[in-house]
Amino acid sequence: MNRAPVVVPARRSSRDWPARFAGRLVYSDIVVVAAVLTGFFTLVLPDERRDVTWDGGPRIPYVAALILLGLVWLVALGVFETRDRNIVGAGEQEYRRIVNATVAVFALFVAVAFFLRIEVSRSLFLVAMPVGLVALIFSRWLWRLWLRGQQRRSKYVYRALVLGEPAKVGSIIRAIRRAESSGFDIVGVVTDVRGRQAIADVPVVGGFAYAVEAMDATDADTIIVAGADEVHPEMMRQLGWDVADRSGNLVVAPALTDVAGPRIHSRPAAGLPLVHVEFPRLDGVRRFAKRTFDLLGSVVLILVFSPVMLVTAIAIRSETPGPVIYRQPRVGLGGDEFGMLKFRSMVADADDQLASLLDLQGTSDSPLFKVTDDPRITKVGRVIRKHSIDELPQLFNVLVGTMSLVGPRPQRAAEVALYDDAAHRRLRVKPGMSGLWQVSGRSTLSWEDALRLDLYYVENWSFMQDIQILFRTLSAVVAPGRTAH
């Protein structure tokens, strides 16, 4: 059945918001690069290095050289498409491109200085580059927080229709709604199923033959194609042309879910836009880099938090009898069991009470052994658990290699025994002190949502994602909110 579109009250969308947002990033990048190079010139550069010199060449003021560096740096941020509308504000590609652009610029200047034998202060590469890179990423992170706030108020979003069969449409809508700020405001559904007035509380606004008319009627700027047998290639081609004529966006949602962008590559063949999906691998150089990062990070964090750990140990010992450090058997990489360390935040016989408490609340058959309003937690325990201080001894697990700074949280053997085949994929990577689901909802997530986020991490691991999770962990620890227990 082909239905004409249902006209709903339209709200003019700000279709040019990606361009305006990218323009703000341009000005922000200019300010950051200028501030870093100005600070380097005034605070770091030695007085005797105020000119750039080389054999047989004129003396050039360092100010001129730094201005040239800044211009090339800003151009590189544009050439590497760090402000591309498809990546800004979400995912890790934005940060990855900033890193690539910055490294490329400084590699270029190093090469020029080497071949022309130009005398350049080493601090330019040892100080200005790292500080500038961190400042750029930090500024983009702040802009991302601002964008998230706007999107929660339905600003700076794509007004989208979802086109397809009801089951596929519902899956797409639920996935988008699960995200805190996906950037999409779903305003209607396009489907030909008789009798459906709404799908997942989103109104059906037209049939497949009237998709473009529905787009105009709802003031949508995006059509997300979830898939349907009735939508044949010729219809898709015409739909693409019609959407392009309206300066809109056509998004095709693949059936394969929870796959991040870096694993997806388009490779045309025989005129078909075939999508290739890489399988995740954490071996070789990647495994070495992650272990090196864990080793160095754990040593630094142990030194930084040693006063906090000392005060915590004294507080625990003074409140209740029992050991300060609690060692609990957990299942790690490949199903191997290890002893996970924590500051004791419960009474000494807490493990003996767990089974009865789980039976009492009816969750003994769930792989996420969480007790609501747990009576076993001590007063000191509530404070250190709220701010995740009880997890600090796990830095020693990271140091010896049984855990990682970032990864799926390790679970008890009894919990692992309840795993299905999908959940066992959590054991393919080393467990972590913090993970994707910890920074996405902490104690409020269901087992299904926690598993989905952990599997996403396993299937899409990257070093940049680890950095993002650590930053979000720091934010969650400093301001834990109501979801922390």
- Encoded amino acid at 7, one letter: V
The domain limits of the chain are 17-152, 158-253, 285-478
Q: Cβ–Cβ contacts within 10 Å for residue 289, how many?
A: 13
The single residue listed with the structure tokens 């794509």 is: 158
Q: What is the pLDDT of residue 271?
A: 61
How high is the pLDDT of residue 13? 44
Is the C-alpha dihedral spanning 369, 373, 375, 378 positive or negative? positive
CB-count exposure of residue 420 (10 Å: 0-12, 13-18, 19+): exposed
Q: Enumerate long-range contacts of 473-480, CB under 8 Å, 24 or more apart.
A: 473/388, 473/434, 473/438, 473/439, 475/439, 476/388, 476/438, 476/439, 476/442, 477/387, 477/388, 480/386, 480/387, 480/388, 480/442
Query: What are the angstrom distances between the C-alpha of 466 and each of 134, 290, 449, 469?
Result: 15, 9, 19, 5
Q: Retrieve residue 348's tokens.
A: 């000494």
Query: For each successive 10 residues of the chain (485 residues), what is the average pLDDT?
Result: 47 66 91 91 70 67 84 92 81 85 89 76 81 92 87 84 87 79 84 79 86 88 82 83 85 67 61 65 78 92 92 87 86 90 79 60 54 71 83 93 90 82 83 82 66 80 81 71 51
What would the two tokens of residue 82 be? 């760090």
User: Tokens 């922390």, residue?
Assistant: 484
Full-model pTM: 0.65
Q: What is the 3-state secondary structure (H, E, C) of the chain?
A: CCCCCCCCCCCCCCCCHHHHHHHHHHHHHHHHHHHHHHHHHHHHCCHHHCEEEECCCCCEEHHHHHHHHHHHHHHHHHHCCCCCCCCCCCCCHHHHHHHHHHHHHHHHHHHHHHHCCEECCCHHHHHHHHHHHHHHHHHHHHHHHHHHHHHHCCCCCEEEEEEECHHHHHHHHHHHHHCCCCCEEEEEEECCCCCCCEECCEEEEECHHHHHHHHHHCCCCEEEEEECCCCCHHHHHHHHHHHHHCCCEEEECCCCCCCCHHHEEEEEECCEEEEEECCCCCCCHHHHHHHHHHHHHHHHHHHHHHHHHHHHHHHHHHHCCCCCEEEEEEECHHHCEEEEEEECCECCCHHHHHHHHHHHHCCCCCCCCCCCCCCCECHHHHHHHHCCHHHCCHHHHHHHCCCEEECCCCECHHHHCCCCCCHHHHHHCCCEEECCCCCCCHHHCCHHHHHHHHHHHHHCCCHHHHHHHHHHHHHHHHCCCCCCC
| Spacing of C-alpha 259 from chain mean position | 13
pLDDT at residue number 111: 84
Length of the chain (residues)? 485
What pLDDT sits at residue 1?
46
CATH architecture of 158-253: 3-Layer(aba) Sandwich (3.40)
- The distance between the two most distant Cα atoms of the chain, rounded to a whole number of Å, is 85
